[in-house]
Amino acid sequence: MTLLDGKATAAQIRTELAQAVQQRKLEGKKIPHLAAVLVGNDGGSVSYVNSKVSACDQIGFESTLIRYDSSVPEEILLDKVRQLNEDKSIDGFIVQLPLPAHIDELKITQAIDPKKDVDGFHPRNLGNMILNLPGFLPATPAGIMALIERNNIETEGKNCVIIGRSNIVGTPLSIMLGRNANPGNCTVTLAHSRTENLKEICLQADILIAAIGQPNFVTADMVKTGAVIIDVGTTRVDDATRERGWRLVGDVDFEAVAPKCSFISPVPGGVGPMTIASLMMNTLKAMELKGK
Ligand code: GUN
């Protein structure tokens, strides 16, 4: 079994991006500037946004963090999005999800200028992705594709089962892995909460990707010997043995599954760092697409 070390792969990408920043500086070009909007105090969202800002620092990107209380009216948030769309110093920005229930996430996502939508959540970018046109790929699926590519995992002709059909992971990833490209050319099954015979379907998977947010959902009896396992889950569970009182748990029962598979991504240190690395790649691309 080989560990799909997202932490190491993401560090490599950050090094490459830092070199690109240095090169831009030498050429007197603008340094990429990412803004992140964070609403509320959800622990997971706060730590993800902090990691995004700290990745910018490490690479040499500029970053701006904009925070609002969870009671912020939708209109104020929309105004901020419009302002960031117009702000020439900002090359790309994200609004961290989920948002409080009184705010319409789709409305916010659709208000973002597609050229600055480095999360790749705008319908125009999702449409471009389907048609293989230039645009931004959503960070988590793009990070998984990079993890597969950089670890030389063969995908062509393989059976790939994705569990979870979310707009930001499962659905876009099913398209990326199915298209005629490398990585890609998989035969993809997108499984979800209504899927019948899930265990039998998972047992057919050469590549099994779990993105449902249910700790330890994938057990050893669902995994074919030699399969590639990618775990997208990041649920915080109470853990009194840790100083902070919790730990991150993936969707895969790692201890039981690891001995059966060829590759497996751990939680933490697998997909999470890759999501952040691909957001950084998108931020550099935002500048390049503008021709700056
Ligand atoms: N919430 C969970 N994943 C993401 C992500 O990739 N981007 C944003 N903006 N919010 C998220």
Catalytic residue, chosen from 117, 119, 206, 231, is 119
Q: How confident is the model at residue 290 (pLDDT cuts 50, 70, 90)?
A: confident
Decide if 104 is catalytic. Answer: no
pLDDT for position 94: 98
Catalytic residue, chosen from 96, 116, 206, 253, is 96
* CA-based torsion, 99, 102, 107, 111: positive or negative: negative
pLDDT for position 4: 98
Please state, for a pLDDT cut of 70, what percent of the chain lies above it: 100
What distance in Å separates the CA atoms of residue 213 and residue 55, rounded to the nearest whole number?
24
Q: Residue type for 71, please?
A: S
Strands 62-68 and 92-95: what pairing?
unpaired
Complete edge-to-edge strand list for the sheet that includes strand 159-163: 2-3, 263-264, 228-231, 207-210, 159-163, 187-191
Please give the distance, rounded to the nearest whole angstrom, from the Cα atom of residue 271 to the centre of ligand 1: 13
Q: Over the stretch 202-217, which tens digit does the pLDDT of each residue have? A: 999 999 999 999 999 9
Nearest partner of 277 among 13, 1, 4, judged by Cα = 13
Strand partners, 237: 247
pLDDT for position 288: 84
Q: What is the pTM of this model?
A: 0.97
Q: Over the stretch 104-136, which tens digit does the pLDDT of each residue have? A: 999 999 999 999 999 999 999 999 999 999 999
pLDDT for position 99: 98
Closest ligand 1 atom to Cα of 94: 9
Q: Over the stretch 131-152, which tens digit does the pLDDT of each residue have? A: 999 999 999 999 999 999 999 9
Q: Is the confidence at residue 292, as pLDDT, over 80?
A: no
User: Which of helix, strand or coil describes residue 55?
Assistant: helix
What distance in Å separates the CA atoms of residue 172 and residue 130, rounded to the nearest whole number?
8
What distance in Å separates the CA atoms of residue 275 and residue 144, rounded to the nearest whole number?
8
Q: Over the stretch 161-189, which tens digit does the pLDDT of each residue have? A: 999 999 999 999 999 999 999 999 999 99
Q: Residue type for 84, please?
A: L
Helices 170-178 and 139-150 pack at an angle, to 10 degrees, of 40
Please state, for a pLDDT cut of 90, what percent of the chain lies above it: 98
User: Which of helix, strand or coil describes residue 3?
Assistant: strand
- Which residues lie with the beta carbon below 6 Å from any ligand 1 atom? 94-97, 119, 139-140, 168, 275
Q: Over the stretch 24-62, which tens digit does the pLDDT of each residue have? A: 999 999 999 999 999 999 999 999 999 999 999 999 999
Q: Who contacts 281 (Cβ-Cβ below 8 Å, separation ≥6)?
A: 13, 17, 142, 146
Q: Is the confidence at residue 291, as pLDDT, over 80?
A: no
**Which of 140, 166, 173, 232 for mutating ligand 1's site (highest number of atoms within 8 Å of CB)?**
140
Domain ranges for the chain: 28-113, 139-273
Do 28-113 and 139-273 share a fold? yes
Decide if 96 is catalytic. Answer: yes
Q: Is the confidence at residue 192, as pLDDT, over 80?
A: yes
Q: Report which protein residue has its CA nearest ligand 1's atom 3.
A: 97
CATH number of 28-113: 3.40.50.10860
Q: Which CATH class is domain 139-273?
A: alpha beta
What distance in Å separates the CA atoms of residue 19 and residue 267, rounded to the nearest whole number?
28
Neighbours of 209 (CB within 10 A): 31
Decide if 83 is catalytic. Answer: no
What distance in Å separates the CA atoms of residue 233 and residue 249, rounded to the nearest whole number?
7
